[in-house]
Structure 1
Amino acid sequence: MANPWSGLPPVEVHCHGFGDVDFSDFTKVDLARLDAWCASEGVLSLPTMYLHREQLAEFEAFVHEYHRMRGEGLLPHVAGIALEGPLLASHGGTPASTVWAPSRHEWERLAALGPYGLTYTVLSPDAFSPASELHDEPAARDTGFDWLIPLLMAHGIRPALGHFTRADPLRSAEQVDEIVEMAWQSEWSGTGVRVVTDHLFNDMPLLIRHAFRSARARAERDAVIASYDLPGWTLDQMARIVGPVPAAIMRQAAAGRIGACINFDGEHVDLAIATRAVQLMGVENSMMMTDRCDSARLGGQDLHHRVDNALWYQQDGIVAAGSVPLARQMANAQSQGLSLEDVRTLAAGTAHRVFGLPVRSEARLPVA
C-alpha cells in the first residue's frame, strides 16, 4: 500500500524567524513575504511566537489577518500559527517578559483563535506547581488544567508540553500523563493528534547528558555515548535511564497520543540520542523541529553565537534558539542510518498527520 505522506513538503513545526524576520515581532511580520520564503525553501511552516500580555489584542488581529489571507489562498505555505508560552514554569531561553499566567478571560480570548489558525501553545505541565515561576501570580490561582485543557480542545488548539521545572520530576511526569488523558477525554474540535511537545530532552529534568556543545564536551562524547548503551534502551526502562519526564513523553508518543518534537541539529540533542529516541517512539509519532532563528534578534532580545556551535545564546548564556535549517537536519538524520522514508516521515509525514494538514499540496518534498 502506498504511503499517503510520501512526497509531501517538509514542515518547519517550531521555528522563530526566517531571514531578517523575527516572528515574535508579529506586528511587523509580512505574511506574504514569509510564504514566499517558505516556497523558496520548499517547506510549510508553523511560525512560533512569543506573546507579551499587553500585545494580546494585536496578536488577535494578526491571527485574524492570517486567517483572511489563508482563506483567500494567499498563504499556501504557512500552515498555522503557534505560541511558545505564555504559561511556562521556567522561561529557559524564552524572554522572561513573555512568560505570564493568563486569566480565564485571557485564555478564552486565546482559545477563540483556534478556528482562525492558532494551532498549538507551549505550556508547562508543572506551571501551577510551587516550583513554577508563575505559582504566585494571581491568575494562576484562578485557572487549572482541568478547566484549561477542555477549553483548548473545544477550540482545536493543542497543548505543546515543555519548559519543565526540575524540582519534582516524578510529579511533573504524572502531570504529563494527566494532561494527555484530559485531552483525549475532552471534546475535540480539531483534526489530527491532540497533544504535541516542545523539543524532547530540552528544558526538562534529565538523568543523562543529552548534548555536547563545547570542544571539551565533544572530546568526551564518544565515551559517554558508549556508556549509555543506546541499542539496549527500551521504553519500559526509560524512566530509570533518562528520567521520568522524557520517559512519560516517549511512552505517550509511542502509544500515538502525543506528536513528539525533537531536534536534529546535533547541538540541542546529540544525534545518536535523538535517533534512538525516535526509534523507540516510532518515526510516525515523531516530528523533526529546528527551533530556528536566522537573525541575531528574537522576541525583543539580542542573541549571539559562540565559537563552539551554531546555537543562539542570550546575554546570560542560556540557549535561546537554533540556526540549522530543516534540510540540513534531514541530512543529519540520514547520516545516523535512518532511511530516506523515515526521514521524510520525521520531517513531513508525521506533521501532516498530527496537524491534520491536507495530503495534497502544491509544494513537494525534494527527492534526495
Structure 2
Amino acid sequence: MNEHTTDVPPVEVHCHGFGDVDFSDFRKVDLARLDDWCASEAVQALPTMYLRRDKLSEFEEFVRRYDAMRKDGLLPHIPGIALEGPLLASHGGTPAQTVWAPTRGEWSRLAALGELGLKYTVMSPDAFRQGSTLHDAPEAREAGFDWILPELLAHGVRPALGHFTRQDPRAGAELAAEMVEIAWQSEFGGSGARVVTDHLFNDMPLTIRHAFRSTAARRERDRVIASYDLPGWSLDALDTIVGPVPATIMREAARGRVAACINFDGEHVDLAIATRAVQLMGIPHSMMMTDRCDSARLGGQDLHRTEDNGLWYQNAGIVAAGSQPLARQMANALGQGLTEPEVRMLAGGTAHRAFGLTTTAPQLVPAGRR
C-alpha cells in the first residue's frame, strides 16, 4: 500500500445515473444537483455517459459547462467525466445508437475534451476486426489505433479496454496488448495510468462462469467455484484458466501498465472471483466500479429488473447496469476478507492515482461507514 490508500475520498469510477437522472441525457444533467448528491453519499464520481453521433456538439457544450463550473470551484465531488463508447465491437447493454466509429475529425474533437475533464473513453481493441458491429462502418478504417491513441492520450484521455467480441479471443488479447504498448509509447498529457478498463470479466470472452445471477445458477455456485481452485490461480496460467483476454488485462495490470476496473456487487462478477482477481493484479492496480444506475432509464432505453438479482436489464434481456452504490460494494469486499486499507485503495486510492485526481474533500467516507 502507499499514500493513496488512506485520506482520499471513495470514487464512483464508472456510474450511469444517480437518483432520477440519466447522465447520458445532457439536457437534464444538473451538475450542481449531482455534486450535492455525491456529497450526501460522501463520494466523488466520474459520471459515465453514452454518446450518439448526432449529440457530439451537445456533449462538447456540456463538457465546456462542466469545465467552467469546475474551475469556479462549484463541483468538488465531480473530478471528471467519462464515455462508454462509441467505438465498441459489441453492444452489450449499450444502446445501439451510441455505438459508432468516429472519423479523424470527430476523434480530435473528443480528444480536445480531455483538457476540459474527459478522463477516459471505453473502446474495443477488436473494434475493427471481423465480428465487430463496426467492421463494415464506412469510417472504421479512417484512423487506426496507432493514430487514435496518441491523439487521445496527448490530451489526457485514456482508452478503457472493454466490449470485446467473442469470435477470436486470442486475437482480441493480442490487440489489447498492442493498445497498451501504443499507449505507453505515446506522449501523455495527463498523469497516472495511461490505460484503464471497463469492468473485468464482463463483455469479454471467458472460459469460466464468472457470475451466478439466477436462483438456479446460485444453487450450483459453491460447487462450481470450488472446481475453479481460486487459491491455485497464477498470472502465468491465466490464459487457460479464464481466457486470453482477461488474462492479458490482468497481467498488464500486475505490471502496473493498466488500472483495471472490476465490480464488487456480487452480480456482475462473483465476489470470490473478483477478490482473487484483484489479489493477482495487485490492489494498487485495481479499482471498484459500480456501473450504477438508480432509475429504470439509461441512454434513452427503458430498463427492468428480474426477481433474481438487482441488475438492470434492457428489453433484449441483456444486462445494462448495476444498482448497488459504492458503500455497499465496499462492504461486500470487506466480507470477502479484504482489509480496510485494501478496500479503501480499491474504492478510492487507485482511482486517485490512475486519474490524477485532486483530493478536494479528504474527510469524506461512505455513508454508513463513519
Shorter-chain TM-score bucket reads over 0.9
Between the aligned partners of 1:178 and 1:353, the Cα distance in structure 2 is 23
Aligned to 1:139: 139
**Contact 2:304 / 2:312 at 8 angstroms: preserved in 1?**
yes
Shift of 1:268: 0.1
Task: Give the 3-state SS of the residue equivalent to 1:139 in structure 2.
Answer: coil
Between the aligned partners of 2:249 and 2:120, the Cα distance in structure 1 is 17
Question: Which structure 2 segments of 5+ residues have no match?
Answer: none
Shift of 1:4: 4.2
Alpha-carbon displacement from aligned partner over 1:150-182 (angstroms, at most 9, x marks no partner) = 101111000000000001100100011100000
**Contact 2:4 / 2:345 at 8 angstroms: preserved in 1?**
no
Task: Give the 3-state SS of the residue equivalent to 1:131 in structure 2.
Answer: coil
Paired amino acid for 1:183: A
Between the aligned partners of 2:362 and 2:59, the Cα distance in structure 1 is 28
Aligned to 1:204: 204
Between the aligned partners of 1:124 and 1:193, the Cα distance in structure 2 is 18
Question: In the superposition, relative to structure 1, how do residues 4 and 242 fare at CA in structure 2: closer, same or farther (>3 Å)?
Answer: closer
**Contact 1:5 / 1:359 at 8 angstroms: preserved in 2?**
no
**Contact 2:20 / 2:295 at 8 angstroms: preserved in 1?**
yes
Equivalent residues in 2 for 1:112-123, closer than 5 Å: 112-123=112-123
Equivalent residues in 2 for 1:281-360, closer than 5 Å: 281-359=281-359
Between the aligned partners of 2:61 and 2:205, the Cα distance in structure 1 is 37
Paired amino acid for 1:256: G
Aligned to 2:230: 230
**Contact 2:4 / 2:352 at 8 angstroms: preserved in 1?**
no
Aligned length: 368
Aligned to 1:190: 190
Between the aligned partners of 1:29 and 1:362, the Cα distance in structure 2 is 26
**Contact 2:154 / 2:189 at 8 angstroms: preserved in 1?**
yes
Paired amino acid for 1:162: G
Between the aligned partners of 1:116 and 1:221, the Cα distance in structure 2 is 45
Paired amino acid for 1:279: Q
Equivalent residues in 2 for 1:208-223, closer than 5 Å: 208-223=208-223
Task: Give the 3-state SS of the residue equivalent to 1:27 in structure 2.
Answer: coil
Between the aligned partners of 2:265 and 2:365, the Cα distance in structure 1 is 19
**Contact 1:42 / 1:364 at 8 angstroms: preserved in 2?**
yes
TM-score by length of 2: 0.98
Question: Which structure 1 segments of 5+ residues have no match?
Answer: none
Determine what percentage of the aligned residue pairs are the same residue.
72
Equivalent residues in 2 for 1:1-368, closer than 5 Å: 3-359=3-359, 361=361, 363-366=363-366
> Cα RMSD between the aligned structures?
1.1
**Contact 2:125 / 2:164 at 8 angstroms: preserved in 1?**
yes
**Contact 1:7 / 1:365 at 8 angstroms: preserved in 2?**
no
Between the aligned partners of 2:330 and 2:7, the Cα distance in structure 1 is 14
Between the aligned partners of 2:113 and 2:213, the Cα distance in structure 1 is 38
Between the aligned partners of 2:8 and 2:146, the Cα distance in structure 1 is 37
Between the aligned partners of 1:214 and 1:76, the Cα distance in structure 2 is 39
Between the aligned partners of 1:338 and 1:359, the Cα distance in structure 2 is 24
Paired amino acid for 1:48: T
